[in-house]
């Protein structure tokens, strides 16, 4: 006669009805070796999780089970990050901000191919928007994806200011070694005015770029600070007022410079 084991027909022993966290069968760990989803990093697990959704908050759904949440991941990652590593990342981001500004520096100086109306829109509106974003895009990415790598908001301000300074320097080199010499050869600029233009560019233009980027950096610091205090994902809305202010400062300066240049030729 076959051994008939008693079968419990109730559902009380279903995994989702048991007390405490779910305990997987030990054999599943061995099977997971060949499963790509099981080899995801901590951040990938957090990014694909659902326990940070508002409907699953502790107030509505109770405490989260033994799964990875953004808060837990951020706290552990911040605890593992040493001050030395944090400042090393800051230096790297500052250098990368300058590298990211290089293509924008060349793009910003191809405006002579446009007519007056297109030039005005590009110089006063589109140019400042694209340039200010490009100067802080690297730091923004780190805040979005790895906020624990920074320990204080001042680091983000330094990164943003470095991006603005690098952009200003690259733009000046382009003007002083390419644009202005061509203008002198064509007669659009007098040779005796070159020294004054150089002083203006190194003094005023570079300061404007660094100032505008510093404003954007203050926004990034605010965005990062809220995320670290609340142990929640960074929200771009916290940084946008400062980024828009940087664009406005840049746009007003460009519009004034363009109006002065047009007026000088008209009057």
Of 200, 235, 198, the C-alpha closest to 220 is 235
Of 154, 156, 147, 133, the C-alpha closest to 233 is 147
Sign of CA dihedral 137, 142, 144, 145: positive
Residue 188 is predicted with a pLDDT of 79
Sequence ranges of the domains in the chain: 47-80, 83-266
Model confidence at 267, pLDDT cuts 50, 70, 90, reads: very low
Of 79, 127, 135, the C-alpha closest to 102 is 135
CA atoms within 13 A of residue 234's CA, in its CB half-sphere: 21
| Residue 261 or 82, more confident | 82
Encode pLDDT of 115-158 as tens digits.
555 777 878 888 888 889 988 999 999 999 999 999 999 999 99
Encode pLDDT of 206-246 as tens digits.
999 999 999 999 999 999 999 999 998 999 999 999 999 99
Helices 206-230 and 127-145 cross at an angle (nearest 10°) of 30
Q: What is the DSSP letter of 4?
A: -
Encode pLDDT of 39-58 as tens digits.
566 676 676 666 666 666 66
Spatial separation of the C-alpha atoms in residues 262 and 171, rounded to whole Å: 21
Of 191, 211, 251, 232, the C-alpha closest to 70 is 232
């Amino acid at each position: 006669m076959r051994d008939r084991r008693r079968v419990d027909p109730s559902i009380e022993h279903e995994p989702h009805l048991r007390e405490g966290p779910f305990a997987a069968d030990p054999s599943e760990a061995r099977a997971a070796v060949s499963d790509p989803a099981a080899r995801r990093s901590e951040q990938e697990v957090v990014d694909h999780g659902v326990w940070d959704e508002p409907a699953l908050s502790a107030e509505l759904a109770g405490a989260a089970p033994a799964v990875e949440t953004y808060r837990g991941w951020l706290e552990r990652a911040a605890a593992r990050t040493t001050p030395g590593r944090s400042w090393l990342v800051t230096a790297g981001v500052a250098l990368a901000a300058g590298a990211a500004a290089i293509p924008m520096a060349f793009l910003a100086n191809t405006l002579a191919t446009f007519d007056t109306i297109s030039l005005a829109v590009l110089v006063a509106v589109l140019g400042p928007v694209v340039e200010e974003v490009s100067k802080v895009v690297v730091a923004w990415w780190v805040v979005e994806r790895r906020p624990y790598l920074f320990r204080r908001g001042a680091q983000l301000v330094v990164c943003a200011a470095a991006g603005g300074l690098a952009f200003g320097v690259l733009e000046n080199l382009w003007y002083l070694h390419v644009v202005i010499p061509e203008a002198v050869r064509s007669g659009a600029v007098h040779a005796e005015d070159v020294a004054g233009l150089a002083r203006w560019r190194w003094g005023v233009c570079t300061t404007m770029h660094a100032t505008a980027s510093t404003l954007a950096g203050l926004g990034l610091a605010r965005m990062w600070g809220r995320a670290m205090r609340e142990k929640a994902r960074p929200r771009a809305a916290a940084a946008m007022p400062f980024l828009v202010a940087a664009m406005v400062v840049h746009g007003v300066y460009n519009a004034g410079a363009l109006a002065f240049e047009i007026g000088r030729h008209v009057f």
